[in-house]
Structure 1
């Protein structure tokens, strides 16, 4: 995302939008916060390591100890009213911010609270007026996004318990920002492709020009799994940063991580994570920075990689950089996009 945004900024004026209220209003987050408060209420999260918080997250998901969402509305109310964030999440977010800084990654606003632009009722009313949702709340039922006109099944966005899922929260944040003809690029986990295909159809029906970029997860030991199942102890960002930065300087670390996760693993991450290949990418980055030259236009190189929907393809751009083994990399492009 960082390479995509910075490269696109060389040829256009994009806006990078991310809102912490979106994940903080999801059922998974709220139920985890409640679990921490009930089972570990005495913890001082300032003294809990991010790794230990991750282990608590895995333990929560394996415990089956999640309360119904209709009993946890006080968490939703605090987030909606004050932008409140649980101390465990504040602790982890500060940790992520530190690593973003080490990697030279632009902070999308991890700690900047943004009230959502529309209420749930306003979004449902707007969608219903365009026949884009089915609202059964007056009968005690759920609300569905309606993609049947495109051959897509109904997708529940508000349950019978009244809880709105992440799609409805995204629409609350996004719809006030849509203007006819505006290009929107959705970047998301590949596991959510159906939801984002529907979201793309809905925003297109409302006048936007949407495009999608699904990102695959990186296999560990040949298996792709969510973080809630564990198995990540040896490949956390703490561990990778420690291993890389003891041998390479910060510039090689920034570029090498991008070369590995963009050019070598690609978008779909079909190959499993390999520390030896990451080290090879860092060595390559070290040489690339040492031999970089001052010629060439960064905007021209980025412009050659623009997709029809208007954004610069970071995979094509990075592949071109990585493949030029016999020619020094242009320093201007490295500075503008990768460092």
Structure 2
């Protein structure tokens, strides 16, 4: 097996959680979907004789040079990249390529859309592509999860899973993944609040609340799990109104956990007021994005309402051609 001689590009999609964030960390189920309209790409360019792999991120404005992986960098981002590369090398049983990996992305940082996991998945795919190998989604997900651990400490695993499989999933830690592809997808709208969402901060805040109020917070987390279960049944039936109603309930429970934000709630109100069936925050919260389900004919009105309500960006998917 020889290294690929030509420049090539691989990519990984964004993700959005429809139901179950935060509770999924504690063993409750979650329903998540890929959002292929936003992607992270890695352009692979051979650098023969360089004796190093260079990883450059345009969005971060940073450049990392890996001559080998013997040392562990102190920098968190460099360490996460190193981990993704190392885990892939262990699977491939191949050395670091002499190449440049240029990372570019449509996925906004700190938005709850899985930008970190998408970068890790794209890097794993780039390593495999260099050696003309296509790793199975499970192997890609595991390697990316190791990088997510570096960034988030105790991630749920949902980001790397849905992005690596690039399919809608019903996820429950320790249980077989339920792939939900082959079903009609609802129209989804994602809007950014423009406020950074730091997943690790939100996860830590919920953990502290659970430690200080175990019964109350535990009940809220269990309730989120039940809502996610009801959402799965609605998904299988193609009952988007019921799924959207579950999202509204989920949002109220997330507000009880203290991970919402007034800007997010204003966007949710604007989306529903303009015709969305339901909406909620998506991801860690405390900023980031909202996601809404809506009929195709309402998409334009909802986008206008969200921008009027100070959304910094709006994207949609699932609209029939």
TM-score by length of structure 2 reads 0.30
Question: Relative to total residues, which structure has the larger strand share, 1 or 2?
Answer: 2
Of the two structures, which has the highest relative contact order with CA contacts closer than 8 Å and spacing of 6 or more?
A: 2
Q: Looking at CA atoms only, which structure, 1 or 2, has the larger radius of gyration?
A: 1
Question: Relative to total residues, which structure has the larger helix share, 1 or 2?
Answer: 1
TM-score by length of structure 1 reads 0.29
